[in-house]
Structure 1
Amino acid sequence: MEGVRDSSETLASTTTSSPSPSDDVNVENRGKQLTPLSTRRSRAGFSDSFSSHDEEQIATFCANKSESDDDLLRNIESETLSSSVLSTSDTSSSEANHHPHHRRHHHSHVGPTNGHWRVFHRLLKKGSSAMPFNTFSHLKGVPKLTRRKSKRIKDNMVPVLPAAALDTDDLFLFKPSWKNYSLQDIQTATNGYSPENLIGEGGYAEVYKGEMADGQIVAVKKLTRGSAEEMTMDYLSELGIIVHVDHPNIAKLIGYCVEGGMHLVLELSPNGSLASLLYEAKDKLSWSIRYKVAMGTAEGLYYLHEGCQRRIIHKDIKASNILLTENFEAQISDFGLAKWLPDQWTHHTVSKVEGTFGYLPPEFFMHGIVDEKTDVYAFGVLLLELITGKQAIDSAQHSVVMWAKPLIKENKIKELVDPILGDDYDLEELDRLVSIASLCIHQTSMNRPHMSQARITKTFTLFFSKTIFFFSVFLQSSTSAIVNPSKVKQVSSKPRAFVYEGFLTELECDHIVSLAKASLKRSAVADNDSGESKLSEVRTSSGTFIPKAKDPIVAGIEDKISTWTFFPKENGEDIQVLRYEHGQKYDAHFDYFHDKVNIVRGGHRIATVLMYLSNVTRGGETVFPNAEIPSRRVLSENQEDLSDCAKKGIAVKPRKGDALLFFNLRPDAIPDPLSLHGGCPVIEGEKWSATKWIHVDSFDRIVAPGGNCTDMNESCERWAVLGECTKNPEYMVGSAELPGYCRRSCKAC
């Protein structure tokens, strides 16, 4: 019932970039007029993103072994309140120490010893009456957050909760109805965790069907991976969500067990999960049942997003997490990945992929953005599964979204229907589900409906009539630049790096090579002080640049890059094509700049897309020597196939048509020293690649010395009237080194 799972990253406001071993940046100076710019431009109207620190949202246990149970509980309660403040402000301790208005609630998280967990387990075993359980505290008096991203405002926008805002009313006990089961109860119910009883499996947990002594059918979720501390924090996080929810379309927790591991026990009817029927016994799923399941799931999600006392994002909506009662009422289960989203925040930003491939929306998969629209997209995929009988991602890695979109575009609605249904379905209901699914799987999150708008009722047609414009745009959109999420995999979370398998066709690869062959010359690097191009043994390849939109094929590739990365095409440089012959390489380096000359146009390079145009027999890998290798890493490459150079870090083997996307800046716009990367020497064969560097701002805009006396946004005049020139001077006016976007309207020139 769980998919790919990892904790998110807390962003720091400042860091020190470590120098590259080569101390050079991959750049060509083409002699255009340049003026200094800073690293990242504030953008008006952008919502501020905050990373989430999941484990510290619930509790931090830092007690001594010698403490009594009562002392431990008081310590837990006290430190949990501090942790709540920490997770709400969502900043690092270093950031808090530098900010004069921050209270010093921040403390380093010292992992508890095994003795601490034994005391904690002992309390759990005593039952609900002995275990105070701190869940999300009320946010009282928290100021609304501004959406501007100037540094002046950002430094002062993180809310700090006074101690008075947290009272004992915010502490909840385990629900008295939850039963404390013994390990013997669990083992007997699941027949000793028999493989035949296994009904769900993920990266961190297994789910077994069981029958208790009283005959009640249950689903037992057993955490299986991670240290005792990690499993306990995951366990508490999930319980902290479940204690707040109470709805007919949310699965009921009936008990728990902490003996011999971490277990959650939920109600389970003989019908099991939607996946067990949809994938194995779909003949039992008539159209009326499928429609009922869709309605129930929508109601459950609407409750989590808007009806619950906490704003909860489930993050793992999929068929195996939808349980079916005896009457086929849908119940959403498994809150192991769920996030609490404070009302003051527009979204979370996480750095690691969490969830299940096939259900992940583009903005989450690529940029870690988590909000209600994350669940909305997954709900749209689930609707397509109910309609078509196909899995989100099948065994051949085919995506139901990619299969369905062309049929929806051509209005071939009946061809979507699961063949096992024949003509036994309601056409009006089918149209309604397809319409909702089409909106929910829109590539742009802002064009997806909220669950309050996507609830499956007859009144949906009123909402649909208001959003027909967005739907028509979706139907008319070109399929040439559609991104297939099933082809993308994350190879690193620190730095953030992704590989898109088959991003370019063989024709596109060969075409780019043919354009470049006649104009290759020795590649250069940029001097860190002057920014001037120079030859260096650090980089021994040959290369050339291909102008933007040189021909329709190049223009199509540019479109695909923009669609995949969510960056405007004007933020990208021309494509650089490189040829590496035997022994040629590029030593480890950064793609962000150390000099003030090259950041004139568009600021730092925020991301790099490296497209492989040929296969390499041996060597030529792209390696990240500073990348953090997780303890639970699953190797993406056979180590025997990698060169010695590639074994020095996380490496990507060049395969024709594949593309590597990695980020040179962290989500807080600070250069990421973990993005250090190099091209390993080619040992056998020849390597062709194409690089697209993407900046934080438009690379096409040339700024004159002192700044152009123009407005770069059509809303500048209106913003100036509203006083934004003084409220947000960094964006509006800027400085001599970094001119603003509305200088004319602010009368700054």
Structure 2
Amino acid sequence: MGLGPEAMNGGNVDLGNSKLRARRKILSYVDDDDEDGPVVSGCWIKFRFFGRCLSRRSKVDSSVSGSSSQYAESKSTTNTSKEQPVAPVISSSSTTSNNAESVPSTPKIEDELKIASQLRKFTYNELKLATRNFRSDCLLGEGGFGCVFKGWVNENGSTPVKPGTGLTVAVKTLNHDGLQGHKEWLAEINYLGELVHPHLVKLIGYCIEDDQRLLVYEFMPRGSLENHLFRRPLPLPWSIRMKIALNAAKGLAFLHEEAEKPVIYRDFKTSNILLDVDYNAKLSDFGLAKDGPEGDNTHVSTRVMGTYGYAAPEYVMTGHLTAKSDVYSFGVVLLELLTGRRSMDKTRPNGEHNLVEWARPYLRERRRFYKLIDPRLEGRFSIKGAHQAVQLAARCLTREGKLRPAMSEVIEALEPLPNLTDMACSTSYFQAMKSVRPSSSMNARYGARMQMKNGQPTRSTSMPNRQGRSDILESPRQNLK
């Protein structure tokens, strides 16, 4: 929920045309259970869209306005994942009318806020000053809600302070012309205002003033997992990838198994996983979260919402939502961490657009799992850890939801993986692989440097290939067939 300075450093991305941008949105089927209209949650777009952000906001304020967006650097740059809608995209005009109808007067909203007393209440003017009049150099990104800005407020109050002092925050403003509206804004407050956990982004406060809707979150300096995996020229080290997977799993397990009432996240993906300065991961964006089934109920019936490529197949087909729907989405993200590929990527050759479908043959065959590992790691990954992570991803991605593990089981499987040191690059297998796959000396240097810089185990060139690792890897000769 906090965007960081790295949001400004996203890789070069082709924005494409408006149709492509529309397809990156998330949409839902409408279910009789859910009275509100379809809602989409989109990707972050940066400075090239700042003019659009300002123009929307100019309707309510001559210099700035209350657009909105998600709070992570994850969305700060153009999303090239080519996320596909789960249902046909509706026009922004129809969404606008839905949003307008769904935004009640301030007194009624106050009644809907379940835990507002636990949060700081800001005035619009305070947040305007905290973000330096929503200046362009404070813009962190734009998404389905609108724009997010970096700001500074008093450590223990709502008073704006000088940039670089006090508490750094991310201010998310609701765009009245956007594709998401009051219901998602309210869900964000009611869930994150009540749920407190080390691996959930902290909601600090909110603003309700006339038709203004703003949210204030803790600032996450390293931004989103999406940016680090897909928009950086240098790869995330293996140990950090496994640490992020473990942290995110703990966040989901808390929602499913430890919260007073079970919560289904419903929007688990790399752009919603934010990183602090030490690469600790936190889940952000609870606009699509849903109370889980209770009592004798086995599922929650609702409209299908989420991003194509992450949504569980049984949920897309039936609208029956369970905690195992989140487990499937976790499996997709774990696969993205392992492969360095997006869940959906139309720039890849035919047959490789959908990550899960491309990966399934390798998930099933023990001796071919290494083909899933991100080649940019240049062998700097644990052989045992990679094998176990691939097996875990296969379990999470099982088509039969009941057969997927609980998130507490996922945590148990992931816990030892960040600290394993049996690096593949120290084996004869990796040396043979290098002979047919050109290596990147820049990536190799970067990987080693990042491991030392962040206190992660460095590879040892003298480390033996225990028992030839025949139980995990094929021989070099077989690998090259």
Instruction: Give the TM-score category using the shorter length.
Output: 0.5 to 0.7
Please give the per-residue CA displacement for 1:228-280, whole angstroms capped at 9, x wherever unaligned: 9x833332222222222111000100122234632212112220111121111
Deviations, residues 96-136 of structure 1 (Å, cap 9, x unaligned)? xxxxxxxxxxxxxxx99899614457xxxxxxxxx56554x
Question: Residue 234 and residue 450 in structure 1: after superposition, are their counterparts in 2 closer, same or farther (change >3 A)?
Answer: same
Cα distance, 1:199 vs. partner? 3.5
The alpha-carbon deviation at position 431 of structure 1 amounts to 1.7
Contact 1:387/1:417 (8 A) holds in 2: yes
User: What does residue 381 of structure 2 align with?
Assistant: 425
Give 1:197's aligned residue: 139
CA contact (8 A) 1:231 1:262 kept: no
Summarize the Cα distance change of 1:360–1:112 in structure 2 as closer, same or farther, 3 Å threshold. closer
Amino acid at match of 2:26: V
Q: Are 2:304 and 1:349 aligned?
A: no
Separation (CA, whole Å) in 1 of partners of 2:336 and 2:130: 35
Match for residue 249 of structure 1 among 195, 199, 208 = 199
Counterpart residue type for residue 105 of structure 2: W
Change (3 A) 1:184 1:200: same
Cα distance in 1 for partners of 2:387, 2:149 equals 36
Compute the displacement of 1:349 (Å): 1.7
2:138–2:150 Cα contact (<8 Å) kept: no
Cα distance in 2 for residues equivalent to 1:115 and 1:320? 27
* 1:326 CA displacement: 1.1
Name the structure 2 match of 1:211: 151
Confirm or deny: 8 A CA contact 2:132 2:138 kept in the other structure: no
The amino acid that maps onto 2:383 is L
SS of equivalent residue, structure 2 residue 315? helix
1:222 is paired with a residue whose SS is strand
Report Cα offsets for 1:463-501 as digits up to 9, x if no partner.
Answer: xxxxxxxxxxxxxxxxxxxxxxxxxxxxxxxxxxxxxxx
Quote how far apart the aligned CAs of 1:457 are. 4.0
Would the alpha carbon gap of residues 185 and 459 (structure 1) be closer, same or farther in structure 2, given more than 3 Å must change? closer
* 1:181 to 1:385, Cα distance in 2 relative to 1, 3 A: farther
Task: Give 1:354 shift.
Answer: 1.0
Deviation at 1:217, TM superposition (A): 3.8
SS of 1:211's equivalent in the other structure is strand
Aligned to 1:117: 105
- Are 2:257 and 1:302 aligned? no
Q: Say yes or no: does 1:449 pair with 2:391.
A: no
Which residue of 389, 397, 400 corresponds with 2:355? 400
SS at match of 1:283: coil
Aligned CA RMSD, in angstroms, stands at: 3.3
**Partner Cα separation in structure 2 for residue 196 and residue 9 of structure 1:** 39
State the alpha-carbon separation in 2 of the partners of residues 201 and 208 from structure 1: 8
> Which residue, out of 167, 190, 205, partners 1:240?
190
1:425-574 maps to which residues of 2 (within 5 A)? 425-457=381-413
Tell me how far apart the structure 1 counterparts of residues 287 and 412 of structure 2 sit (CA, whole Å).
26
- What is the one-letter code of the residue matched to 2:146? E
Paired residue type of 1:253: L
Which one of 240, 249, 262 corresponds to residue 289 of structure 1?
240
Whether 2:221 is the aligned partner of 1:270: answer yes
Contact preservation (8 Å) 1:7, 1:54 = no
**Preserved contact between residue 3 and residue 316 of structure 1 (Cα < 8 Å):** no
Structure 1 residues 459, 249: closer, same or farther in 2, change over 3 A? closer
Q: Which of the numbers 283, 287, 290 marks the counterpart of 1:332?
A: 283
Cα distance in 2 for partners of 1:227, 1:196 equals: 20
Which residue number in structure 2 is paired with residue 409 of structure 1? 364
Matches within 5 A, 1:98-109: none
Deviation string 1:344-365 (CA, Å, 9 cap, x unpaired) is 2211122x43111110111111
How many correspondences in the alignment? 316
Are the aligned partners of 2:324 and 2:406 in contact in 1 as well (CA < 8 Å)? yes
Query: Do 1:174 and 1:243's aligned partners in 2 also have CA atoms closer than 8 Å?
Result: no
Match of 2:264 in 1: 313
Find the counterpart in structure 2 of residue 381 from structure 1: 332
Indicate conservation of the 8 Å contact 2:343/2:355, yes or no: yes
Q: Is the 8 A contact 1:407 1:416 kept in 2?
A: yes
Tell me if the contact between 1:249 and 1:296 (Cα under 8 Å) persists in the aligned partners.
Answer: yes
Paired AA for residue 148 in structure 2:
Y
Q: 2:118 is matched with which residue: 175, 179, 195?
A: 175
In 2: Cα distance, 1:304 partner to 1:324 partner: 19
Structure 2 equivalent of residue 480 of structure 1: none
Partner residue of 1:79? none
Q: Secondary structure at the match of 2:268?
A: coil
Rounded to whole Å, the distance in 2 between the matches of 1:459 and 1:114 is: 43
SS in 2 for 1:249: coil
Maintained 8 Å contact 2:299/2:321: yes
Query: Secondary structure of 2:234's match?
Result: helix
Distance 2:132 2:27 in 1: 25
Contact 1:187-1:193 at 8 Å conserved across structures? no
Give the drift of 1:188.
Answer: 5.5
Q: Cα distance 1:310–1:191, how it changes in 2: closer, same or farther (>3 A)? A: same
Distance in 2 (alpha carbons) for counterparts of 1:182 and 1:409: 54
The amino acid of 2:127's aligned partner reads: D
Bigger share in helix? 2
Q: 1:52 touches 1:348 (CA, 8 Å); kept in 2?
A: no
Q: What's the CA shift for 1:193?
A: 6.7
> Match of 1:393, as an amino acid?
M
Deviations 1:565-606 (A, max 9, x none): xxxxxxxxxxxxxxxxxxxxxxxxxxxxxxxxxxxxxxxxxx
Relative to the length of structure 2, the TM-score reads: 0.59
Q: Distance in 1 between matches of 2:178 and 2:344?
A: 31
Aligned positions of 1:615-694 closer than 5 A: none
| CA displacement at 1:186 relative to structure 2 | 4.3
Identity %: 33
In structure 2, C-alpha distance between the alignment counterparts of 1:232 and 1:133, rounded to whole Å? 11
Distance 2:218 2:340 in 1: 26
CA change 1:460–1:325 in 2 (3 A) is closer
2-side partners of 1:112 and 1:359: how far apart?
29
Structure 2 gaps of 5+ residues are 2-23, 38-98, 153-160, 418-481
- Counterparts of 2:311 and 2:227, CA distance in 1: 21
1:664-713: per-residue Cα shift (whole Å, max 9, x none)? xxxxxxxxxxxxxxxxxxxxxxxxxxxxxxxxxxxxxxxxxxxxxxxxxx
Q: RCO higher in 1 or 2 (8 Å CA, sep ≥ 6)?
A: 2
Deviation at 1:382, TM superposition (A): 0.4
Structure having the higher Rg: 1
- Deviation of 1:303 after TM superposition, in Å, equals 0.2
Structure 1 residues 288 and 206: CA distance shift in structure 2, 3 A: farther
Q: Secondary structure at the match of 2:172?
A: strand
Aligned-residue offset at 1:8: 4.8
Distance in 1 (alpha carbons) for counterparts of 2:186 and 2:205: 14
